[in-house]
Structure 1
């Protein structure tokens, strides 16, 4: 085993459970799905009904009892924390090809200049699915020495959580239960990936210049995003509000849960019924301002060749007026946009326009100066 393989035990930032409820913020009222009920008699139907009512208000929810222990979750946080502690020169050996729509591997801190002299504070590392297609993806020794644990974690999320949620959406739309799972098979090529991500703390001056918004309002471009969180309050979701856009509400870090949000691909596949939620990341409250925000995420994306057009045959979409013309039967014409094309286009659009060999040198220079 590599000398880099050891990772210290993970201790969450601000782990005192009495602190978060005392924050003076307005929490979003989100439903909690207990996935242990899924295989019980009538359990899927009850969960689908619960989820149906929840997504009418907002496309965020929690899941609990998802088949992974807290120790297994904490191990992933420990790996992520140790990964980001590696020297920048080492991490840059595994840099993702962001400029060409690639996303697996390392994304350095500070690629995008948000305002003059202020750069993005996001550092992340993406690991693709554990299938032969992605077996050649290089990783730092710290990651390769933990691939069995990471693989188990990734597969468990996809098979025991994602497939259950996609089944519930099919039940909600009164469609065959495999309608969405058949478009998100683990063994098939897709952009699904596990992510370690850190939002690095900012100075008071930077927060003032940015109005405390670290990542502006946006939607995710896959099907679902699953987020394991530290008890650091920084995530906000925008509630429905017509032309005004609604108001921002905080999403509580809920111990023992996964925070889930619906993303663009499911909105396309349901012709707008499943809403891709607008959310953002802001500076934590004053008593958590000194904490870096480390997260472990799983991004669910449709298979590369899936066309992002509405599924046909849903009595619910027909009753509620979400079908137009041939969409009722799933549509006969091609949309021209596949899951893979959509992801690559969105990634390219979000990358800093300044490209070239000097970019990473510039980041190294800033880091050394700092």
Structure 2
């Protein structure tokens, strides 16, 4: 399909990158196109291992999408919010609270994790494994073929190469993790469009300018398509918060709980948060395009003890293997708890905790 054949969508005009002198994290860059050769994969596996150990995040470049294709996807993402009325959105709400399932809309009705204000974000999630069971808003329907292709691109051309590099980095067969991340199978991997709206001064004061408290993602790998409105911060090993710099047409990748469980803590889920944008972007909306990858629902989240690296380094088990949650149990429990669980002060200063399926989950102020 040529660009002339594509359905018309209005162009979403994002804010220009900030010119504020922010303290940025030093995040490594992975050129995923080098994974096409054996020599490249061997080198990249080392780079990925070091990136995840030292930073928990890395950029991906040369991922196969042109700048024009990326711009088009952000235009499509905005349609889900600007071209769909609130009343129509309510016809396609997610079942996150009832079923622990993300597909559909999450509106600005959830209380933030401070329980002081309503979140100023909307989300629309599309999951390949749910597509035969869900309908979509009228404005989104003509765009579904493109979204499906985008989903496939994330899954096969970005996620799978990363999973092969991670498996290789712990001396397992390259397809070990690929084999438990089936496309359109029994998992909740999803494309998500998220739009943050500016808060009032009163809301910012009540939440200390934090839009999304420090947390870990509950899946395996999270992929953020870089966008110019600053807000994302990562927590360094030294306990400091550092901004994530926008790189044009790059991806920002981090690990979640599931990979932490599967690697026995060798690769820890990385802590990050979203805060109020800097002064020169303060009145702007912040549109995000994401791909959240999860292992198949029936995968037991216990260490891959057959890994020679994990055997040498030692395994950290969050629970006995017999009691380990499946991916489905973990994602449903964490999804249901979001915005509704009662957090208690932890042992660390500025950290609140909740217990989910016998595992302590931390939230960082």
TM range (shorter): 0.7 to 0.9
Which residue of structure 2 aligns with residue 343 of structure 1?
A: 331
Q: Which residue of 1 aligns with 2:37?
A: 40
Distance 1:172 1:67, change over 3 A: same
Equivalent pair of 1:224/1:260 in contact (CA under 8 Å): yes
Q: Does 1:237 align with 2:234?
A: yes
- Determine the structure 2 residue equivalent to 1:212: 209
- What is the CA–CA distance in structure 2 between the aligned matches of 1:116 and 1:218, rounded to whole Å? 16
More displaced 10-residue stretch of structure 1: 309-318 or 271-280: 309-318
Alignment of 1:288-303 (within 5 A): 288-303=281-296
Give the Cα separation in 1 of the matches to 2:133 and 2:335: 22
Cα distance in structure 1, aligned partners of 2:250 and 2:232: 15
Displacement of 1:220 after TM fit? 0.2
The answer to whether 1:274 aligns with 2:276 is no
**Distance of 1:114 and 1:147 partners within structure 2:** 33
Following TM superposition, where does structure 1 have runs of at least 4 consecutive aligned residues deviating by more than 4 angstroms? 113-117
- The answer to whether the 8 A contact 1:230-1:295 is kept is yes
Moved more, 286-295 or 33-42: 33-42
Question: Which deviates further from its counterpart, 107-116 or 302-311?
Answer: 107-116
Alignment check: 8 A CA contact 1:301 1:339 kept: yes
Do residues 87 (structure 1) and 85 (structure 2) align?
yes
Query: Which residue of structure 2 lines up, in the alignment, with residue 7 of structure 1?
Result: 9
Query: C-alpha displacement at 1:11, in angstroms?
Result: 2.3
Local SS of the residue matching 2:277? coil
Does residue 155 of structure 2 align to residue 158 of structure 1? yes
After TM superposition, give the deviation of residue 334 of structure 1 in Å.
3.1
Task: For residues 108-146 of structure 1, give each alpha carbon's deviation from its aligned partner in whole angstroms, at most 9, with x where no partner exists.
Answer: 1132166677211120000001x5x53121111222111
Runs of 5+ consecutive residues of structure 1 not aligned to the other structure? 355-370
1:29 corresponds to 2:52: no
Between 1:51-60 and 1:285-294, the stretch displaced more is 51-60
- The C-alpha deviation readout for 1:31-75, integer Å capped at 9, x for no partner, is 100011111340001111111111221211100011112222212
Counterparts of 1:1-370 in structure 2 under 5 Å?
Answer: 6-14=8-16, 19-20=17-18, 22-85=19-82, 86-100=84-98, 101-112=100-111, 118-129=117-128, 134-241=131-238, 246-322=239-315, 334-352=322-340
- TM-score, normalised via structure 1 length: 0.85
TM normalised by structure 2 equals 0.87
**In structure 1, distance between residues paired with 2:169 and 2:34:** 16
Unaligned stretches of 5+ residues in structure 2 = 1-6, 343-365
The change in CA–CA distance for 1:7 and 1:183 in structure 2 (over 3 A counts) is: same
Distance in 2 of aligned mates of 1:113 and 1:274: 28
* CA-to-aligned-CA distance 1:207-241 (integer Å, 9 cap, x gap): 22211101110000000110013211100000113
Is this contact kept in 1: 2:115–2:339, CA < 8 A? no
Distance 2:143 2:65 in 1: 17
- Larger-gyration structure (1/2): 1
